[in-house]
Structure 1
Amino acid sequence: MVLQFTDKGIYCPAGDFYIDPWQPVERAVITHAHSDHARYGSKHYLCQHDSVYLLQLRLGQDISVQGVAFGEVVRYNGVSISLHPAGHIIGSAQVRVQQGNEVWVFSGDYKVENDGISGQFEPVPCNTFITECTFGLPIYNWQPQAVIFSNIRQWVQDNQAAGKNSVILGYSLGKAQRLLYHLRDVTEQIWAHGAIYIPHQLLREKGWDLPEIHRITPETPTAAYKNNLIIGPPSAADTSWMRRFNPYALGVCSGWMQVRGNMRRRNADAGFALSDHADWTGLLQAVRATGAEKVYTTHGFSSAFARYLTENGIPAQEVKTEYGDTDEELNIPETTPNEQ
């Protein structure tokens, strides 16, 4: 096997490196900067160059990290490694590993619809494909992005007519940038929690086409964000940070909002099934486009998805990993004492 599944992560014995390890290792190839895929403690990191500064934000400026362009080939002990667009978040990549004539691809996390900022997912032909299955059930089929953002815009306008602030919760790395990119002109100003503001400003400094936003501090007068859009991380729900916005309507952006009961459980006024992961159709599209002869399924509905693939002529097997879909926050303080 070109890649092996170990207690530290996905390992390439010939190249002596790990992909997205969950324990410290000598050499780690990283698909993207979410905390379940990029963890502290490894001696050296390799990632797509737009992930470099996001890794440094999360793990510290002193880490040893090498950034490479999409498609650029790096060789470890004769094993070829290249990174290819995953379309999940800014800097996200799939890892292509070739040993001799055998090619394996680890997808990391991905989505096939181009969100306008994270890049277009690129199918990579391979013998073996390792795919996430976060939303690997047929009930998860996303509406086109344009429809979802049209619904969000209408919701914000309805809140304004009712004299309410519009508060949307979304992951600080990935979802927040996508929301801000597409909703830049929905209100006169956009305000944000510190956990959103910090990576946003970093990405603007690096040249990303993101709108100006304003950070909410204890000194921010309530009149400043009245009838405007406010974006915060999921962890801000049911905190004192939220209560300052009364009267407000709460919207949650997550693929889990596809299931009606989840909106009620989040105490949300509106749920928008906007996900940075592929839906059922996208997963099938990606798998088939690789032409893989064998598929390994990880995190999410991996057992169900593997069974479906096998029953439809694509040998597949579930693999247990420590990746997940609930830990996509930057490992930086989401609230400071002054933001409670």
Structure 2
Amino acid sequence: MQITKAGYHGILLPDLNIGFDFSTSKADHIFISHAHSDHMPRNRKESVYCTPNTYKLMKKRGYSGDATTLNFGEPVETDRARITFYPAGHILGSAMTFVESDLGNVLYTGDYRTPPSPATEGFELPENVDYFITEATFSLPVYRWASLEELTHEIQTFARETLEEGYTPVFLAYNLGKAQEVMHMLAPLDHLIQIHGAGFKLCSVYEEAGIDLGRYETYDRDTCEGKILVTTTSAINNGFASNVKKKRLAYCSGWAARESSRTQLTVDKLIPLSDHLDFFELINLCKQLDPKEVYITHTPNASVVRHYLDNMDIDSVFLNLEAETDD
């Protein structure tokens, strides 16, 4: 089974004429894992396969191609392989792609999270995997996430206490996925949320999928004070809510676990909420699957992961693809 890079973020199975998360003439069958920009086809008119929710989100982000949508567990067959999507738990619509063929089977994760984000369709695995292509964004032992219950409590407490003290709480989170997860966690507070316009246009897809985002509206500079605000770090740096003098910022990202974040970021709270799995979840999953070979992508620290896999007698290969920036 040949497994190769296809550009700065794509993967190609040349023997099967299949590609993952890229645009190219080198494969007739391209499977898109989710709607983050570095996994969408660079050619926004490329014909691809994806889940229905990924298709809806991609359309709102500029995709205008002809997508074939596949539900989770609904296989499609080419002349060389049988392909099935499994829920990845990363963002709404995110899918792992399982390819079965005479050459063996391959599981491509895209970006994934287990336990899954509560604002997704969940997380499931096929039973037997020969070749495992996994991202390893948080590939050092310093990255170990708290439980979703603990993180939800931390987010709700920050919002509640900030409001009670007369300040406006601002959560810094990527517009697609993280923002909606934070809103879902805040929904039980029943306090009006204002979200950055780029994130607001994506929320309807989540609501259509049955994800509770609470009471929310698009950001309005004139009325945002006293609301719960959800936006991005770049928007804050460009004047978002700059008229609100009494505000407190919470940075929601897996990168919040880095000690350097405490000095590099001017925020009031660091909350290590990631839409990727942590280091130990990655190692345990590889042990559970016990594949013939693991292909590691999207990490600056492949040697650490490979060391742990070597100790479990699991062969591994590093495919040097650029690390995910959406977190």
TM-score of the two chains, using structure 1 as the length reference: 0.88
Q: Is the 8 A contact 2:156 2:185 kept in 1?
A: no
Greater relative CO, 1 or 2 (CA 8 Å, sep 6+):
1
What is the aligned partner in structure 2 of residue 335 from structure 1?
none
What is the aligned partner in structure 1 of residue 53 from structure 2?
50
What is the aligned partner in structure 2 of residue 285 from structure 1?
284
Q: Deviations over 1:130-166 (max 9, x none)?
A: 1111011111000101111111222222212321100
How far, CA to CA, are the matches of 1:43 and 1:189 in structure 2?
39
What is the aligned partner in structure 2 of residue 21 from structure 1?
22
How far, CA to CA, are the matches of 2:113 and 2:232 in structure 1?
21
Query: Which amino acid in structure 1 is aligned with residue 237 of structure 2?
Result: D
How far, CA to CA, are the matches of 1:96 and 1:27 in structure 2?
13
2:146 to 119, 143, 147: 143
What is the aligned partner in structure 2 of residue 239 from structure 1?
238
Query: Which amino acid in structure 1 is aligned with residue 79 of structure 2?
Result: N
Unaligned runs of 5+ in 2: none
2:72 to 63, 70, 73: 70
Q: Is the 8 A contact 2:172 2:252 kept in 1?
A: yes
What is the aligned partner in structure 1 of residue 258 from structure 2?
259
Aligned residues: 322
How far, CA to CA, are the matches of 2:6 and 2:239 in structure 1?
42
Query: Which amino acid in structure 1 is aligned with residue 311 of structure 2?
Result: E
Query: Which amino acid in structure 2 is aligned with residue 312 of structure 1?
Result: M
Shift of the 267–23 alpha-carbon distance from structure 1 to 2, 3 Å rule, reads farther
Q: How many Å apart are 1:191 and its aligned residue? A: 1.1
What is the aligned partner in structure 2 of residue 5 from structure 1?
5
Q: CA RMSD in A?
A: 2.0
Query: Which amino acid in structure 2 is aligned with residue 318 of structure 1?
Result: F
Q: Is the 8 A contact 1:127 1:294 kept in 2?
A: yes
Q: Deviations over 1:71-128 (max 9, x none)?
A: 1111222211111111111111111111116111111111111332213322232111
Structure 1 residue matching 2:260: 3-state secondary structure: helix
Unaligned runs of 5+ in 1: 329-340
Q: Is the 8 A contact 2:22 2:42 kept in 1?
A: no
Q: Deviations over 1:33-87 (max 9, x none)?
A: 1111113315311011221111111233x31101101111112222111111111
Q: How many Å apart are 1:16 and its aligned residue? A: 1.7
Query: Which amino acid in structure 2 is aligned with residue 265 of structure 1?
Result: Q
Q: How does 1:1-340 map to 2 (within 5 A)?
A: 1-7=1-7, 9-21=10-22, 26-41=28-43, 43-60=46-63, 62-100=64-102, 102-124=104-126, 125-186=128-189, 188-205=191-208, 207-218=210-221, 220-221=222-223, 225-300=224-299, 301-322=301-322, 324-327=323-326
- Decide which moves more: 141-150 or 5-14: 5-14
Q: Is the 8 A contact 1:85 1:93 kept in 2?
A: yes
Q: How many Å apart are 1:207 and its aligned residue? A: 4.7
